[in-house]
Amino acid sequence: MKRPAAALALAFAAVAAPPLAAAAPSGVLQPGHYVTEGGWGHLTLQRSKGRLLDFSISSVGTNAHTCEVDGEVGSRGETTLVDDGPEPLDQPSCKLSFRARGPHVEVRHNGADSCRNHCGARARFDGLYLQPQPGCLPAQRRKAGADFKRLYDAKDYRRARATLEPVFKSCAQTMDRFETGWLRNDLALTLYKLGDRAGCLRLLQPLAADAAKSDTELREASTEPMLVDSLIDILRATRTNLRLCEAQGRPAP
């Protein structure tokens, strides 16, 4: 569709993932894709040889610093990370533990300095990785986004809403702030098209305070210069959508 002034946009995560893990006995690690609250970390567990699991972790921290960690989970849920290249002889190895917490997975490390070798200065990979709600895996959200765009372009706003709203309601816990911000704007603009200005304003309210600031103010206050442009793009769309939804006496086009 020709993008309206409100800058309708989709920014669904591009991480491929296997299906949700099936129900399993308590305390048993299961293959699957897991995501931290706020979507900053992704953990994939895949069956390796025998009963062991291969793991892969990717995470994004402050100012786009990242971690990339992979290896094999031992039979007791533990693994030791060994970096390529020389290490000081007196430096302890980085040891990870993986524990099932209900349907989720907790990842911890032993705090060795060598664990930092896998991350940028402002990123981490330890934490609780949640099993996403049904329909909330990255590939499923991408499909919902594509379906939404097709319906919106066809001006089938009711079905577009019905496609995107469940993603917002069910998946927000495991989406990152940028994906959530764009989704709020996309759904708010859809509500505007349906004549629901009050609903549009409710969706945008969490972004309104930042949207009221100028781009210059946002840049000066930001501690994340690598990410501030992405935030400003979202807030520019929010400003336009707020103006549309606050307008009085004009029917939605």
Q: For the segment 40-69, what is each residue's pLDDT rounded down to a tens digit? A: 999 999 997 777 899 999 999 999 999 999
CA 167 to chain CA centroid, nearest Å: 12
Q: What is the CATH number of the domain that holds 173?
A: 1.10.3450
Residues 176 and 119 reside in one and the same domain: no
Judgement on whether residues 185 and 221 belong to the same structural domain of the protein = yes
Span 191-215, pLDDT tens digits: 999 999 999 999 999 999 999 999 9
Between 32-36, 132-136, 247-251, the lowest mean confidence (pLDDT) is in 247-251
Q: Which of 114, 130, 146 is the last residue of a domain?
A: 130
Q: Would you say residue 16 lies in a domain?
A: no
* Domains: count for the chain: 2
What is the per-residue pLDDT for 83?
62
Domain boundary (130, 148, 183) is at 130
Which residue pairs from 28-31 have beta carbons closer than 8 angstroms and sit at least 24 positions apart in sequence? 28/100, 29/53, 29/73, 29/77, 29/98, 29/99, 29/100, 29/105, 30/100
Residues 126 and 71 placed together within one structural domain of the fold? yes
Residue 232 tokens read as 């400003």
Give the model's pLDDT for residue 128: 97
- Report the percentage of the chain scoring pLDDT > 90: 72
**Among the residues of the chain, which ranges form H helices?**
138-153, 157-171, 177-193, 197-211, 215-221, 228-246
Q: Which domain holds residue 84?
A: 32-130
pLDDT digits (tens, 9 = 90+) for 216-235: 999 999 999 999 999 999 99
Instruction: Please check whether residues 90 and 154 belong to one and the same domain.
Output: no
> SS3 of 201, please?
helix
Residue 41 lies in a domain: yes
Looking at 112, 130, 148, the residue that finishes a domain is: 130
pLDDT in tens, 77-129: 888 886 644 555 567 889 999 999 999 999 999 999 889 889 999 999 999 99
* CA dihedral of residues 226, 227, 229, 235 (deg, nearest 10): -160
